[in-house]
Amino acid sequence: MLHLTGQIRDYAWGSLTAIPELLGADPTGEPQAEYWLGAHPLAPATIDGVGLDQVLTEHPEWVGEPARSQFSRFPVLMKILAAEHPLSLQAHPNREQAEQGFADENHRKIPLAAPNRIYKDNWPKPELIVALTPFDALCGFRDPAQTVDLFTRLGVSEGFSTVIGPLSKRKGQAGIAEVFLDILSQDHPSHVDEILRLAPKYADEDSDLGLFARTALELNRNFPHDPSILAAMLLNRLHLEPSEGLFLPTRTLHSYLGGVGIEVMACSDNVLRGGLTSKYINVDELIRVVDFNPYEIAPVETADDGGFVRYITPAPEFTVWRGELTAEPMDVPDTESCRIALVVDGEAHLCTGDECWDVDEGEAVLIPYGEHVTASGSATIFISAPGV
C-alpha cells in the first residue's frame, strides 16, 4: 500500500467547508468543489510528491495486465465532490464522440486551456455519484407527456405553447430535442418570468408539482431569470440519501443541485455545457452528443460483496464498493488491477501481509495489483478500481 494525496479543484459552485472538514484541513475562504484521486494528467494524485500518472507508468505491474491491455491509461478517476450551488447543465461524450471531438479540436489547433476547448482528452465519461449527505440531482429528460402535464398544472398561459408545443406534437426524443434546441438558441425571459411568477403558489406542496416549482425557484436564486432554467425543467429530479448512488451514462444531460458525495468516473475531463453557466456553450456539439430519449431515473442497485456493498453499473472503466467497517476484519475486494481506498468517516485499520496501517478520515491509499488487504476499525471506506 502507498499513501495517496489528491488535488483540490476550486470551482465557484463548491463548498467553503465540506472538503476541508473531511480532509481535516483549515478552510481557505475559497470554494473547494472537488478533490481528485486519480491519474488524470490535469490534476494527478501524488505518491511522495510524484504524480500518479508517472508512478503507474514507472510501475506498470501495479496496474495489472488486464487493465493495461484494455485501457490506454489508468481508467479510474475518484473524487470527493461538494456542491454548495448547482452545477451547469452538462453532458459527457461516449468513447467514439470523445475520440472524434478530441481529434477535431487538435486538428483545429485549439489549445487545451482555451475557454472554447471542449475535449480535454479522448475518453468517455460515464460516472457514479454516491451521496455522503442528502444530495439532489437533475438527470435525463422526463417523459414529454409528464412535462407537459406539469407545466399545464402550474397554470402556464396559452402563449407558453410556443415553447413546449413540440413535446405534444412530436413523439419521444424528436419533440424533446426541438424544445431543448429552441430554448438554447433563443432568449425566453418572458417565459422564464412566467414560470417564476407561478411557482411560489405550489412550492410548498409535497407533490411532483411542488418539486417542479421548487426546482425553478432554487435555480433562479443562483441564475436569476436565466432562460436555461426552462431547459433544466425538462429533466427528472432525484433526491439521494447518504449511501445511495446515481449512475450517469455518457450523453445524459444532468446537473448536481447540491450535496456532498463520492464521485467515480472514467478518467476524463470532457464536459459539454448546456446552460446555467457563464462558460462556453457549443450548441451544435451539445446537440450532437446528448441523448434526447426520455430517461427513467432511480438510485443504482447494489449487491453484497463479502461484506462490502458494490454499486452495480455497466461502466467498464470502474467498479465501486462501500464498506462499513467493524472490529471484525473483512477482505477488501480483490480485483484484476490496483485499487484506490478512501476513508470518509472514522479510522480504518488496513493490513497486507505483515504490514498494517491506520488510515484516518480523509486519507487515501493505493493498493497495487496482487496485494490482498483486510480492513477493520470503525469507519466508512470507499474502494474504486477498473471494472475489468
What is the per-residue pLDDT across 311-331, written as a single tens digit (0 to 9) for each? 999 999 999 999 999 999 999
| Residue 316, domain CATH | 2.60.120.10
Please state, in angstroms and rounded to a whole number, the distance separating the CA atoms of residues 353 and 312: 30
Residue at 149 is within a domain: yes
Q: Are 39 and 53 in contact (CB under 8 A)?
A: yes
In a domain, 17, yes or no: no
Three-state DSSP state, 153: helix
* Total length of the chain: 388
* C-alpha span between 95 and 363 (Å, rounded): 32
Q: Is there a domain that residue 221 lies in? A: yes
Instruction: Identify the CA nearest to 74 among candidates 85, 82, 62.
Output: 62
Dihedral in degrees, nearest 10, Cα atoms 44, 46, 49, 50:
-70
Q: Is residue 163 part of a domain?
A: yes
Among the candidates 233, 254, 285, a domain finishes at: 233
Q: SS3 of 51, please?
A: strand
Q: How far apart are CA 85 and CA 66, in angstroms?
A: 39
- H or E element that contains 382: strand 374-385
Q: Do 229 and 310 have their domain in common? A: no
- CA torsion 20-258-5-333 (nearest 10°) is 130
Within a domain: residue 16? no
Among 214, 233, 252, identify where a domain stops.
233
pLDDT tens digits, 181-222: 998 887 667 789 999 999 999 999 999 999 999 999 999 999
Of 203, 218, 233, the residue that ends a domain is 233
Residue 381 lies in a domain: yes
Burial of 305 (0-12, 13-18, 19+ CB in 10 A): middle
Quote the pLDDT of residue 379.
Answer: 97
Instruction: Please give the biggest Cα pair distance in the chain.
Output: 74
Q: What is the pTM of this model?
A: 0.95
Instruction: Answer yes or no: is 248 within a domain.
Output: no
Q: What is the pLDDT of residue 187?
A: 67
Tell me if 80 is assigned to some domain: no
Which range of residues forms the domain containing residue 160? 143-233
Burial of 178 (C-beta count, 10 Å sphere; 0-12/13-18/19+): middle
Report whether 76 contacts 316 (CB < 8 A).
no
264, 265, 269, 274 alpha-carbon torsion, rounded to 10°: -100
The DSSP secondary-structure symbol of 143 reads P
pLDDT at 285: 94
Name the strand (E) or helix (H) holding 237: strand 235-240
Integer Rg of the chain from CA: 22
Q: What is the pLDDT of residues 141-191, one digit of tens each?
A: 999 999 999 999 999 999 898 899 999 988 789 999 999 999 888 766 778
Domain count along the chain: 2
Q: What is the pLDDT of residue 354?
A: 86
pLDDT, tens digit only, all 388 positions of the chain: 999 999 999 999 999 999 999 999 999 999 999 999 999 999 999 999 999 999 999 999 999 999 999 998 899 999 999 999 999 999 999 999 999 999 999 999 999 999 999 999 999 999 999 999 999 999 999 999 999 999 999 999 998 988 999 999 887 899 999 999 998 887 667 789 999 999 999 999 999 999 999 999 999 999 999 999 999 999 999 999 999 999 999 999 999 999 999 999 999 999 999 999 989 999 999 999 999 999 889 999 999 999 999 999 999 999 999 999 999 999 999 998 999 999 999 999 999 988 999 999 999 999 999 999 999 999 999 999 999 7
Q: Which residues contact 28 (CB under 8 A, 6 or more apart)?
A: 20
